[in-house]
Structure 1
């Protein structure tokens, strides 16, 4: 059990870190203990909780916290008592249309809101996601080196002239990736928050689209080698996508020890299954009519 002062420090992240250290459990083992109890929490979420970048507030997250207290063998309610009142950010979770807001699926919506300051997102809801294809390359040291994204969009009104990219890394302080337009777009305004691991960027179309018009764009996200060792890649869909294809390719000389595909809906409920690498040391997944929610792969190597 962590020292009593840790549980009375008034800091939820500090107390959680102390409790995890006292039990000697890594985040992967901690997540597995929770899964055995029927509770699904991602390693990224656990990392955010202990770093203070976000905290459990949703009903499902608070239920997971009760199980977490039991796994960590701290007194019932000791960690929950340090949370205090919920932060007033409901206006960011949903827009007037009733759809999830742009930051709703991110661990800390307020950080996304800050990073988007000055970025025009007004056309986002007027673009139907027909198809999205992400190809991710992971280097020999386990870091994501680059991601090439291709999307097919359809305008539901006259006027859409840009696509907004939001990229996040779980490794705070690591340089954010370079956003490189590849096809049918040009780079507009860019916003960065290195402490939060966020970069947002406008990809400007050659011209505004007419209603019913479709467009294929491609862009690439490039990290400084060896790349942030996030251990996962996921695409967040605030609006549904008809088809999403995700490929992750690893260095053949350094394949991961485990890999799984997962989805997480807008209620933070996760489902996962093991993924098997093919002959090219790659995995891929296909989702149809998916969203709102997150779709991704996570991987790791033996300690």
Structure 2
């Protein structure tokens, strides 16, 4: 179980102070509270109550919050007095060991060098909690743009900037056009000399502390004359709660075959997909990663 020190300041400190004041005002002991909570179906250990009172921990999860509601009644407080002081959850949740979602050591080195050039740690202290990546495919069957909307969470320390990369393994290309839609601004761009890795550094609107989240949305555009691509996807270096790919094809360029590809440290899985009369295809993965999720398509050219 992760422990955080909430006694210094913020909602956690307010909760502990209010709980101490209420206990003192009622002149009751923690043992008395523990016994009555258990009798009302909300068992909490004496140690946990002591942590709550001191501010070393704070209530997390439905059972603990139900106990706090009962504490308000036992301490003759108005409903919501303590609950309103707890603040948002500080739990990061399972994130796993960060890994590059890549199979090629050469490309992994290019990625590391691009992160360094952008001024970012090779493994930054952030993760994509939830990502929706929407790709538009033109009448020629090639990618026009990809818009990505992400809930970003800080896993440790403080985050003010976050890097994102566009990868084209074994296909050197010019830099695509990065633009920030919302949630920050672009503070730096870098293209690796191989032409297979292009990156942007996004400066967030506000710093993120441990377990805090924000939303950012950015766009990649591939202008006329850009080498045609019939593949799109998104990769995560840590476990993500959900990852959605939505690929939208021009009605005059519906592919004859589509593959969904999962690349993870355990290997590569290729699954054939079908439009079945639609013009779009989507795939969702939950509690997934590290890895890359891809859509690849073609027009009667499968070998």
Task: Give the alignment's TM-score, normalised by structure 2.
Answer: 0.61
Distance 2:284 2:139 in 1: 25
Partner of 1:259: 258
Larger radius of gyration: 2
In structure 1, the residue matched to 2:291 is 293
Partner of 1:11: none
The 1:293–1:99 alpha-carbon spacing in structure 2 relative to 1, beyond 3 Å, is: same
Aligned pairs for 1:1-303 (under 5 A) are: 99-101=98-100, 108-122=107-121, 124-170=123-169, 172-193=171-192, 195-225=194-224, 227-267=226-266, 269-277=267-275, 280-303=278-301
Q: Structure 1 residues 104, 261: closer, same or farther in 2, change over 3 A?
A: closer
Q: SS of 2:206's equivalent?
A: coil
Q: 2: CA distance between counterparts of 1:231 and 1:106?
A: 24
Query: What whole-Å deviation, never above 9, does each CA across 1:5-51 have from its counterpart, x for those lacking one?
Result: xxxxxxxxxxxxxxxxxxxxxxxxxxxxxxxxxxxxxxxxxxxxxxx
Distance 1:250 1:215 in 2: 30
More moved, 174-183 vs 281-290 = 174-183
Distance 1:260 1:278 in 2: 14
User: Runs of 5+ in structure 1 lacking a partner?
Assistant: 1-96
CA distance in 2, matches of 1:173, 1:287: 29
Cα distance in structure 2, aligned partners of 1:237 and 1:210: 20
In the TM superposition, residue 278 of structure 1 has moved relative to its aligned partner by 5.8
Q: How many residues were matched structurally?
A: 206
> How far has the Cα of 1:273 moved from its partner?
1.7
Q: Residue 139 of structure 1 contacts residue 226 of structure 1 at CA under 8 Å; is this kept in 2?
A: no
Which piece of structure 1 moves more, 159-168 or 282-291?
Answer: 159-168
Cα distance in 1 for partners of 2:209, 2:122 equals 12
Partners in 1 of 2:205 and 2:138 — Cα distance?
Answer: 34
The alpha carbon displacement at 1:123 in A equals 8.9
TM-score of the two chains, using structure 1 as the length reference = 0.61
State the alpha-carbon separation in 2 of the partners of residues 173 and 271 from structure 1.
Answer: 25
SS of the aligned residue for 2:112 comes to helix
Q: Measure, in 2, the Cα distance between the counterparts of 1:103 and 1:279.
A: 33
Displacement of 1:125: 4.2
CA distance in 1, matches of 2:283, 2:243: 8
CA root-mean-square deviation: 2.5
